[in-house]
Amino acid sequence: MSAETLRRIVIAIDGPAGAGKSTIAKQTARELGYTYVDTGAMYRATGLLARERGVPLDDAERLGGLTADLEFGFPWVGEVLHTVVDGRDVSHLIRTPEAALDASTVSKVPAVRAALMVRQRAMAAAGGVVMEGRDIGTVVFPDAELKVFLTASSRVRGERRWKQMRDRGDTSMSLDDVITDIERRDHQDSTRAVAPLRPAEDSVVLDTSKLGVGRVRQTILRLVAARQEDPDVEITQSGA
């Protein structure tokens, strides 16, 4: 099949913090010429704006109203995807450990999830999207042509996050604290009532600590090629 006739599919990449979703989703999108969407950034920005505007993070009604009114933009600046909310670049502000936990807290609110899901679906209306998050394959795109669930032990994920922080010059947390934070967020994300973090039944589960980022990316590209040619092709883990 020629490149022009290949279907531009929706690829859902879910998994816990530090599993390698962003690196892998971004690289996959670039290789395919697809749009990359980081839904975690939307939850982070929502939590940040709620704090800044004095909306309590457990006030479901006000959080829902705030989220529905937010205007998001995701411009690329060189190699970096920025997050702009209501005309303000919040890319750095949303990357702190506090912003991560706030994001996880506001993400429990059904009205917040509903308002963000409308935007997420609109961003993939034309296909050709790699979208990463926690509920993309289970809730946002239950019919996504390819669903990948990335995972790794909390120690490996914590080490990755800790290294990223140190590379940014942030030495405020010990490795053990970072791992504890990740486990706390995993627990909050996977036990919430609405759209909890879990692999979709028809997802391919890949462990990035065992396979490494390069092999995971290659595996995904192989699966994409198979899906583009025949959407009904059976994908199993052993086929990965």
Residue numbers of the site for ligand DC (CB under 6 A)?
A: 17, 39-40, 43-44, 100, 103-104, 107, 133-136, 185, 189
By the 10 Å C-beta count (0-12 exposed, 13-18 middle, 19+ buried), 77 is classed as: exposed
Closest distance between ligand DC and the C-beta of residue 123, in Å?
A: 12
Rg (CA), the chain: 17
Closest distance between ligand DC and the C-beta of residue 191, in Å?
A: 12
Nearer CB in complex with ligand DC: 7/51 = 51
Which residues are CB-contacts of 10 (< 8 A; sequence separation ≥ 6)? 124, 127, 129, 131, 141, 144, 145, 146
Q: Which amino acid is at 120?
A: Q
Closest distance between ligand DC and the C-beta of residue 223, in Å?
A: 21
Do 66 and 50 meet the contact criterion of CB atoms below 8 Å apart?
Answer: yes
Nearer CB in complex with ligand DC: 98/229 = 98
Closest distance between ligand DC and the C-beta of residue 198, in Å?
A: 12
Nearer CB in complex with ligand DC: 34/43 = 43
Nearer CB in complex with ligand DC: 190/218 = 190
Looking only at Cα atoms, what is the longest distance across the chain? 54
